[in-house]
Structures are given as C-alpha cells and as structure tokens.
Amino acid sequence: LFHHYGTVLVLVVCGPLSKMIRTATRRILLPTHRRWSRHTPTIQECLSNRQMSTSSSAGGNDTLPADESFPTTLPGISSSPIDQQSGLDATAETALKIAEEVAAFDPTWWPSDQALLLLNYINGLDVFPCYAYAIGATTIAFRTLLFPLFVKAQRNSSRMAHMQPELTALKDQLDRLGDKVDQAQQQKYMMQTRALFKKYDCNPLSSLIAPLASAPIFMSMFFGLKNGVDIFPALFETGGIYWFTDLSAPDPYGIMPVLSACTFLAMTETGKEQMMASDPNRGKMMLNLFRGLAVIMVPITWNFNSAVFVYWVTNNTWSLGQTVLLKQPSVKKALGIWDPPKPVPGKESKGLFNDIANAFKSKEQETNALAAEKVKAHNQIIEQQKRVHKEILDREGIRKGKGRRKK
C-alpha cells in the first residue's frame, strides 16, 4: 500500500507542506557537503571544453570544405538539420547550465535531497545516456534490495491467512464470556494465541517490515523528483527519452499517467488472491477500492512531471513482475509461501453491496444490543434502589415497634 496510490493521496495533500518544511530545514541545518564522491565538472572546465570544441571545429577546414557543413539533428532542440558548430555550441551551453546548477545545489540531510544526490551520482557515471535511465536503474536497484523483505512479508501473510480461522474462533470464544472474563482467562487466551503463532511460524509484525522499509524510499524519490525540476531545470529538460524528452514537463500525450494506472491495476488484479486470502469480505472491498483509485488517480496526477512517472511506471512494472513470479508453484514452494486457504463454509463473500448491507446490519445489531444493555442496567439500578428503600422502611418500622413496647 505504501508503494502506490494510497500514499500518493497523502503526498498530493502534504506536498506544499513538505516543501515549506524542506525550505525551513535547508535554512536551519548545515549542508551535508556529501557529494557521493564523484567528479562534477566545474564552470571553468565547461568553458575550456567549449573553447576547445570551437577551436577544433574552426581548424578542421582541411577536412571539410569551407562552403559545406556536417548536418546533425539534436533531439529536443530542433527538427531541422543544423550545422556542427551550432550543435557544439548548444551542447556546451547545456553542459554549462547543468554544471552551474550542480555547483549551486546545497543539499541538507532531508531525504529528498539525498535521493537527488544519489540520482546525480548514478547519472554522472556516464553509463546511461540520459537522466531517465538513471531514475529507472535506481528504482530497480532499490526494489532488488527490498526483494527479500517482500518475500518474507508474503510468506508471513500466507501463513497468517491459514491461521486466521483458528484465531477468530479463539476470539469469539472469549467474546461470548462477556463481562465474566477474569485475569486467568485472559492469560489463557494470550497463551493460546502465542501457541497459534508458533504453530504456523508467523508474526503479525513481519508483514509490516517491507512497507515500513519502502515508504521512506518512495517518499524520498517522489519529493526529490518533484522538487528536482526547480533545482536542476536544465538537467531535467534534457533528460527524457522517446516522446517525453523533457522530464520537467507533463507527458504531452498523457501516455505516462495512463500507463502508470494500467500497471497498478494489472498488479492489483494479479495479486487479488493474496489480498482476499485472510479476510475475503474485507479483501474484496479493498480490491474494489484499489480499482477505483487506479481510475481516479489518472486525472489527479495528469499534470505531474514526467520524471515522477518514470519512477512510478518502473516501480509498478517491477511489482507486477514480482507478483507474477511469486505466484509460480515452484517459486512458492522454494520460498515457503503457502497457497491461499479455501474459504470457510458460510463465510464466502456474496458481493460488495451485500457486504456493505451486512456491515450496516451488524452495526445496527450492535447498537440495539448496547441499548438493551443500557435499559437492563437502568432497570437493575431502579430495582436495587427499591430494595434499599424497602429495607430502610422495614428498619424504621421495627424501630418504631420497639419504641412503643418500651413505653
């Protein structure tokens, strides 16, 4: 849930607040000066390279005739051929702007700043042709490192799904005792619960490790790429690929928002068996909620910059492949992941609207039962007051009778 649109709703609402906090933190905290140990070209180096390129092109007249030029086309600059000299000037000018932006970046320990530092380091390795590839490679690296945690979480969830009927029976047995539950019975219930967890080799906290570990990474990458447009405009404007050459701008054709929603929906449909394993009724409601979110988030995120969608699409595609992989019988057997349990007779879900109606009916029954308990308690108090009053009157009558005898 932390990976995808459930967190995105929180991020969209808290985005302006996070930017204010980040600005205040930048003013208060000292710079980290931690540049991930890479060589960043200085302005002087860019200017010298520019002069060298200009001189080399000027001295190359013995190779090319004076009245001819080598036609080249730079993506994102012009669709018509331009000469080699103007192409070198445009490249040097872009490199100069990027170098100035990198030199002016004064990061703090704020997680989004550290995410940008890591992305700039990977982009500066000269392994990938543009910034979009660096974003994708960083996303895959993070998901690879988190893969063992997701396997452990799914293994734990599959076992808890098999344990759920026995745990529910224990809880119902304790609830039937009502107010008669004493400390000894509570201790017995706790011991039986621990024995169940030991029997199925699971722990309720183990399923939370993967979301808690991935949430900071997701938020850091999201805010870093969202705010990076203002910090490195030249780097983002020239870092795109295919039809979205400008990472600082929204997708001009709207393909990335739709693709992100489709990959999320495909991931939800692929993993719905695990979602409904422990509680079919609640799982189906969550499934329908995620389906609706996949549709709603398309217009909400339509104007997000393309850099954010590069991260989301890569992340969702990896999650989809991971879900498909962990559904294979041989992989599940090797990793100790159990098949979903068969539904308990009489507990099958009969549809979303029926589940909602049953929920309202259960709530109404609980309210009526609570009202009946209040009336019963009130009547008991009245009866007790009557008994006390009667006892007082009887004692007063006895005293009066004894007084008359003495007289």
Cα 148 versus chain centre, distance: 17
- The confidence score (pLDDT) of residue 218 equals 92
Assess contact for 131 and 235: CB atoms under 8 A.
yes
Render each residue's pLDDT in the chain as its tens digit; 407 residues.
Answer: 444 444 444 444 454 555 554 554 444 443 443 334 344 444 445 545 545 544 544 444 444 444 444 444 433 333 444 444 554 565 777 777 777 777 778 778 889 889 999 998 998 888 888 899 999 999 999 999 999 999 999 999 889 888 888 888 888 888 887 777 778 888 888 899 999 999 998 988 888 888 899 999 999 999 999 988 888 888 898 888 999 999 999 999 999 999 999 999 999 888 887 777 666 777 788 888 888 999 999 999 999 999 999 999 999 999 999 999 998 999 999 998 988 887 655 555 555 456 566 666 666 666 777 777 788 888 888 888 888 877 887 777 766 555 555 55
Q: Which of 231, 239, 284, 300 is nearest to 6 (CA)?
A: 300
| DSSP H or E run through 171 | helix 131-177
Residue ranges in 203-351 assigned as alpha helix (H): 209-231, 233-237, 255-270, 272-275, 280-300, 306-326, 329-335
Residue listed under structure tokens 């500066």: 124
The C-alpha atoms of residue 220 and residue 142 are separated, in whole angstroms, by 12
Q: How many whole angstroms separate alpha carbon 280 and alpha carbon 47?
A: 65
The residue whose two tokens read 């003013």 is 27
- What's the CA gap between 210 and 319, in Å, rounded? 13
* Rg of the chain taking only CA atoms, in angstroms: 34
Closest CA to 3 of 175, 217, 244: 217
Give the largest Cα separation in the chain, rounded: 149
- How far apart CA 116 and CA 98 sit, in angstroms, is 14
> Which pLDDT value is given to residue 89?
60
Burial of 352 (0-12, 13-18, 19+ CB in 10 A): middle
Count CB neighbours of 105 within 10 A.
17
Q: H helices then E strands: how many in the chain? A: 14, 0
Residue with structure tokens 């092109």? 57
Q: Report CA torsion sign: 286, 290, 291, 295.
A: positive
CB atoms near residue 143 (< 10 Å): 20
- pTM for this entry: 0.66
Work out the angle at residue 126's Cα, subtended by the Cα atoms of residues 123 and 131, and round it to the nearest 5 degrees: 35
Residue in this structure with the two tokens 């404007």, named with its chain if needed: 237
